[in-house]
Amino acid sequence: MKALPEPLKARRAMRDTLLAAILTAMEDGDVFFVTADFGSPVLDLIRERYPQRFINVGIAEQNLINVSAGLALEGFKVFAYAIAPFITMRCFEQIRVNLALLSSVRPMNVSLIGVGAGYSYVVSGPTHQCYEDLTLMRSLPNMQVFSPADQITAELLARACLTRPGIKYLRLDAQVVRPLYEPELHNLNDGFKVHGNSHELCLVATGFMTHTALKAAAHLAKLGLNLSVIDLFDLTHFDTNALLEHLRTARRIVSLEEGFQGCGGLDSLLFNLLSRHAVTAPFLNIGVAPHYRFELGDRQTLHEQVGIGLHTVIEKIQRFCPALPS
């Protein structure tokens, strides 16, 4: 088997590591890859090596889902691949009916790979940016929702998708991010990773915002506030007790997401969890102000404008902890 070309090894985005894992997995004749005319260099290798199990349905996400469902009903393990807002919203009813509903009564293994979490398609505007997908996918019973923060997690999740039955949504960032984990030491079982051990404030983030959370924690530590950061990459099947164990010890809890604030994403997940288990620590939710915007700028600038930039996050946390020097 030919190794990956060197340039692909260097600066790898989540989709590159994930697709490389799928490329290896395609040796299993039961794995099928379906794309809605969305590519990447690694995908070219899949297409070249496995033409019988690689299908491009064209710019047709509804059919992407329907064909994937049909393949899965016949026993194939299917990866369906497209830009995040399109694979979740253009075809939401196909996902609801032919994956979420149907998987209640039929065994299926379908993994939806959506690339372009949050603002990661920085200059492409709100059609290509994606702030609603976690909410929508979470709303569907049976759907397993993953939001990795780095390439390593994305790669491990791709492998896990093959052995976990059911239907899944993987939300990937389109940009190259700093690797956070060592593959050998990274265990997906809990559904989250804890950084730091402070009880002052627990900052729960997901996806790209885990990086912002870690930077905010480093900055605030210098000001005398120690945070623990939780990277919640599995939004549906995390170990509830293990997560609660961390949250119960925190004097304050903050959620941080690259999705609309108060609209059913990570903040709602945490709010429900904390309420249900009578965790009464003060809770602050930081997310994208729920408006569509057309301004251009780099990702950090856009993030500051919508309320989730590093500086804004630091300010919000400082206000949330009034005892702190600002």
Q: What does the binding site for another protein look like in residue numbers (CB under 8 A)?
A: 32, 52-53, 55, 57-58, 60, 62-63, 65-76, 93-94, 97-98, 101-102, 105-106
The dihedral sign for the CA sequence 253, 258, 262, 265 = negative
Specify the residue, 108 or 220, whose C-beta has the smaller distance to another protein.
108
Q: Which CB atom, from 32 or from 192, has the smaller least distance to another protein?
A: 32
Query: Whole-number minimum distance, CB 180 to another protein, in Å?
Result: 36
Name the minimum Å distance from CB 78 to another protein: 9
Question: β-strand 201-205 against 252-260: which pairing, if any?
Answer: parallel
Query: Which lies closer to another protein via its Cβ, residue 32 or residue 208?
Result: 32
In terms of CB distance, is 64 or 84 closer to another protein? 64
Give the residue with the Cβ less far from another protein, 65 or 167.
65
CB of 101 to another protein, least distance (A): 5
Task: Categorise residue 210: left if φ over 0, alpha if ψ from -120 to 50, beta otherwise.
Answer: alpha
> What's the min distance (Å) between Cβ of 74 and another protein?
3
The smaller minimum CB distance to another protein, of residues 56 and 318, is found at 56
230, 194 contact by CB (below 8 A): yes
- Closer residue to another protein, CB minimum distance, 34 or 154: 34
| Nearest distance in Å: CB 100, another protein | 10
Least distance in angstroms from the C-beta of 107 to another protein: 10
Q: How far is the CB of 138 from another protein (least distance, A)?
A: 21
- Helix-then-strand count for the chain, H and E: 13, 11
Write phi, then psi, for 2 (nearest 5 degrees): -70, 140
Which is it for the CA torsion 176, 50, 106, 101, positive or negative? positive
Task: Tell me the helix, strand and coil percentages in the chain, rounded to 5.
Answer: 40, 20, 35
- For another protein, which is the closer residue by CB, 4 or 102? 102
CA of 159: how far to CAs of 65, 113, 124, 143, in Å? 21, 13, 30, 17
The minimum distance between CB 95 and another protein, in angstroms, equals 11
* 3-class DSSP assignment, residue 54: strand
Residue 211: CB minimum distance to another protein, A: 37
Would you say 53 or 171 has its CB closer to another protein? 53
Measured between alpha carbons, how far is 30 from 155 in angstroms, rounded to an integer?
19
**Residue 99 CB-density burial (10 A; 0-12 exposed, 13-18 middle, 19+ buried):** buried
In the block, residue with structure tokens 């059609």: 127
Residue 168 and residue 190: Cα distance in Å, rounded? 17
Asked if 181 contacts 210 with a C-beta cutoff of 8 angstroms, the reply is no
How many Cα atoms sit within 13 Å of 16 on the Cβ side?
18
